[in-house]
Structure 1
């Protein structure tokens, strides 16, 4: 018998001063049995960084046809394809052909550097690809915030991110490896 996803619920308040975006999002996140708290929380951070009323979680790990998150217009055109972790370069090439913009929020410490160096030449050819990385301390601190019911606040200003849950506030500075 297959294991079922665990459902998490989050109320996410986003104040993105850089984009002038302010909204509250009520999120239902299905965490695949093979997904870690770290990856799930990086998905939520990616949502906050690109928050939009039409941004949706994809089927993620369980599907090669959908990203972790995506933003579509009313016609179904993919405006933004967002992956977290260290996706395969073939997936990113395919995504770059399907979406106006492709974003990766990479995490994993030293493995991010290895992944980036291995496919940097291919990534450089994708003009609509932006890659951001998190430090291991940042992604592990995010994972520590995971709860089945979460009230989260995210403030973004000048590329700096403050992510809060309860009494805990994290300062996160995503590092730009490549900008679309």
Structure 2
């Protein structure tokens, strides 16, 4: 018998000073058994740091034709394709063809994530943004994840401050293009 996903809930006080977004979010995340805690936390961070009306998680690892996080406008049109982890160039190319904006969030070394993209065809590669965090930040904060989570996430001047279930950490958000 296959093991199903574990549901985690996050109540997040979001203060994104850089974008002028202030909200309390109730986020439900289905964690697949093969998904690591740092990957799941990166999904949550991507969701929060990209938060806008119409944002949603996809079906996760079973959704091969959708990104981890996506944004649709009121008409249902895809406006943002947000990948997590280390997607291949073909996924970024597809996303860039389907959505106005493409972003990648990773808890891995961004140079190693971007290296396989070199020389590959990615539509509007100079507009695809790769966001990463300081080494060890996501892994350390992922240790604090429980089934029910309370978090405060603040971004100001390109730096994030995260308090998760009493544990605190901070990191720069490093951004580069896929080109």
TM-score by length of 2: 0.91
Alignment partners' CA distance in 2, 1:75 and 1:125: 24
Shift of 1:141: 1.6
Q: More deviation in 120-129 or 82-91?
A: 120-129
Name the residue aligned to 2:90: 90
Shift of 1:7: 0.5
Runs of 4+ in 1 over 6 A off after TM superposition: none
| Aligned match for 1:120, one of 105, 118, 121 | 118
Name the residue aligned to 1:159: 158
Name the residue aligned to 1:14: 14
Shift of 1:125: 4.5
Name the residue aligned to 1:169: 168
Secondary structure of 1:2's partner? coil
User: Does residue 1:54 correspond to 2:54, yes or no?
Assistant: yes
| Unaligned residue ranges in structure 2 (runs of 5+) | none
Give RMSD over aligned pairs: 1.8
Name the residue aligned to 2:45: 45
Shift of 1:54: 2.1
Q: More deviation in 113-122 or 148-157?
A: 113-122
Contact 1:11-1:25 at 8 Å conserved across structures:
yes
| Unaligned residue ranges in structure 1 (runs of 5+) | none
Contact 1:15-1:22 at 8 Å conserved across structures:
yes
Alignment of structure 1 residues 128-147 onto 2, 5 Å: 128-147=127-146
Contact 2:125-2:178 at 8 Å conserved across structures:
no
Shift of 1:124: 8.2
Secondary structure of 1:47's partner? helix
Shift of 1:179: 7.6
Contact 1:89-1:119 at 8 Å conserved across structures:
yes
Secondary structure of 2:81's partner? strand
Name the residue aligned to 2:4: 4
Secondary structure of 2:149's partner? strand
Alignment partners' CA distance in 1, 2:124 and 2:115: 14
TM-score by length of 1: 0.91
Deviation string, structure 1 residues 73-107 (Cα, Å, up to 9, x no partner): 01111111111100011011001100110100122
Alignment partners' CA distance in 2, 1:23 and 1:116: 32
